[in-house]
A and B are shown apart, each in its own frame.
Chain A
Amino acid sequence: MNEERLKQIFLITGGIVLTAFCLLPFLWMIIISLGKNPDFLSGQTSFGFTFNNYTAIFTSSSVHLLDYLKNSLIVSTIAAILATIIASLSAYAITRLKFPGRILIPLLLLGFSMFPQISLLGYLFKMLSELGWINTYASLIFPYVTLALPLALWIMLSHFSRLSKELDNAALIDGAGRLKILSKIILPISLPGLFSAFILSFIFSFNEFLFALMFTIDYKARTIPVGIALFEGLYGQIPWGYIMAAAVIAVLPIIMVIALFQKYIMQGLTEGAIKG
């Protein structure tokens, strides 16, 4: 057996193991969601293929799954858009404008993002209740924007600092102002960065549990991770089939967002800006 072949075998085996490691829990989730008896492996019951779990969570009036999904999508989309906009503006300022302390800002943000989320909880709860925001979208959107911002900013920083400053200078001389340069030149060629910042902020907000648990009370603002976790209280025993069916529904938006934007993330749009 020659080296090339051995390399290939290792590569393929490694790939399969890694894929299985990542995807098996999802497979398990789908299987359970489609079975009548979640404990079918114990041998006392049979699997019993059924769609009942899905119909039940969508039709039962006490579950509110669609409300949770709607809340999650609204909160995550708005938070991700805000985080991306703020990150782009600040990343542009930090990479292009001269002001004292501009190197400190991203470092400080990175430092803040290392605080454990739970250390903010008490103070934040007090603040949000004073504002009367508990159980509203705003109670989640604003904390999520803050928490997603460091990551989004660092993504935008790395994209912007790779673009030649001569592009900015050329546009300045062509008569454009800074905002116009950002919107007409820099952002269009940073689409891959914008999309990655948006998607990662979106995923973070979509999955966040702690704040959503603390700051929401019912289906008016509660998001899907919390909703699923609280199924247990609704039914007394753990309804695995329902939980898994709901989880499958919860994963769909994220898969859709990524499928939609992945070609933009892959695209290198800056080719041809300078001599290649």
Chain B
Amino acid sequence: MNKIKINSLSKNFFTLRRGKVNALKNINLEIEPGSFFVLLGPSGCGKSTLLNIIAGIEKPSFGEIYFNEKPVVSGDNKIFIPPKERDVAMVFQSYALYPHMTVFENIAFPLKISKLNKDEIKRKVYEASEILELKNLLEAKPKELSGGQRQRVALGRAIVRNPSVLLLDEPLSNLDAMLRINMRSELKSLQRKLNITTIYVTHDQTEALSLGDKIAVIKDGEVQQIGNPDQIYEDPRNLFIAKFLGSPPINIFEEQFFEYISNKTDITKNRTNFIAGIRPEQIKITEKDKGRFNAKIKMISSLGSEKLAYLSAVNTDFVAKVSPEAILDENIEIGISFLKENVFVFEKSSGKRID
């Protein structure tokens, strides 16, 4: 169990094609011991680079990282503790299992490197394989395993030496949908059981919301917001975060709706400078002319537990989540209502949320 502190960390590098790249810009994070911390962002935002720097595979250009107040790396190259001395374990997106070794040998590899005696290795590997239900597969080679089983082996290799930090780099993205949901809950309960400080990198907002104790949203190498899942979802700091989280994504309304949306005069006066967002589940459908404005139902799609109504008003398409009992027909006019406090208003130029 480690507390991790990241202090104004930056990473720059040069490529022939793109010139100077700022992969990470002034990152500041504090990760509580034993917590499940998620780094969420679109691909190419630098989240994997950050994970690699924490692991010790890459070095930062500026800034420091502390494990329990002890510096493990500094940008000025004065301090660099190599990965094997950091007591971290990592699971990769491709699993990175050693293809020529059996499951047993794969899980035992980190223990063998640290020169544990044979009986101890055996005991620990069996213990880990018990937790991950791999007991019957110990003699198999990785190529004989299914995706889910390989995932478990990779996890086994990570937890077998009881690391103080567990790093997971999109570990579920190569699994099919059903398995992904199962593994998600298994992962969470495993983390709770072992109580390891865990950092999880993903671009999947559902994964982030369901797994994380805390989430840091990253875009273009910068932390956009840090908070628990509810804070991030219900109180996004900017338009990017509001759009990135939620499925279906947040509805965007431009100036022509502002008379229905806001009664703050400074906003309605300069309405061209702002846009508004309302989450699909906050939009209520009422009878025609009884809402704030009228809209036409273009299409209804049923998701089983709920229905999505695809609506259109004043040349703008938007979506509402409605209960499955709602009786709605396509191509009819209905009224739209919502609570004003559920409307997010963003500055158009910067994307910053102002209301």
Q: A169-B52, A169-B90, A275-B147 are in contact. Are A174 and B157 (CB under 8 A)?
A: yes
B97 beta carbon closer than 8 Å to chain A: yes
Contacts of A251-276 to chain B: CB distance below 8 A = 269-276
Residues of B within 8 A of A173 (CB): 55-57, 83-84, 88-90
A172 beta carbon closer than 8 Å to chain B: yes
Tally of contact residues, A, Cβ under 8 A: 24
B19 beta carbon closer than 8 Å to chain A: no
* Contact string against A for B residues 48-82, beta-carbon threshold 8 Å, 1 for contact and 0 otherwise: 00001001110000000000000000000000001
Cross-chain contact A275 with B95 (CB below 8 angstroms): yes
A166 beta carbon closer than 8 Å to chain B: yes
Residues of A within 8 A of B82 (CB): 172
Count of inter-chain pairs, beta carbons less than 8 A: 83
B323 beta carbon closer than 8 Å to chain A: no
Cross-chain contact A175 with B84 (CB below 8 angstroms): yes
Q: A172-B84, A174-B110, A189-B99 are in contact. Are A272 and B144 (CB under 8 A)?
A: yes
Residues of A within 8 A of B109 (CB): 171, 174, 176, 184
* Contact among A164, A175, A176, A180 with B96 in the assembled complex (CB-CB below 8 Å): A164
A79 to chain B, nearest CB (A): 28
A185 beta carbon closer than 8 Å to chain B: yes
Cross-chain contact A276 with B143 (CB below 8 angstroms): yes
Instruction: Specify the chain A residue showing the minimal Cβ separation from B87.
Output: A175
Residues of A within 8 A of B55 (CB): 169, 173
Cross-chain contact A272 with B96 (CB below 8 angstroms): no
Residues of B within 8 A of A174 (CB): 84, 89, 109-110, 113, 157
B240 beta carbon closer than 8 Å to chain A: no
Instruction: Specify the chain B residue showing the minimal Cβ separation from A169.
Output: B57
B112 to chain A, nearest CB (A): 9
Instruction: Specify the chain B residue showing the minimal Cβ separation from A180.
Output: B113
Cross-chain contact A170 with B99 (CB below 8 angstroms): no
Those 9 A-B pairs whose CB atoms lie nearest each other, nearest first: A272-B143, A175-B84, A174-B110, A170-B96, A274-B94, A272-B142, A166-B96, A273-B99, A175-B113
> Can you report 17 residue pairs joining A to B where beta carbons are below 8 Å apart?
A164-B94, A166-B93, A172-B57, A172-B82, A173-B83, A173-B89, A174-B84, A174-B113, A176-B109, A176-B113, A180-B113, A184-B109, A185-B98, A189-B99, A272-B99, A272-B145, A275-B174
Chain A residues with CB under 8 Å of chain B are 164, 166-167, 169-176, 180, 184-185, 188-189, 269-276
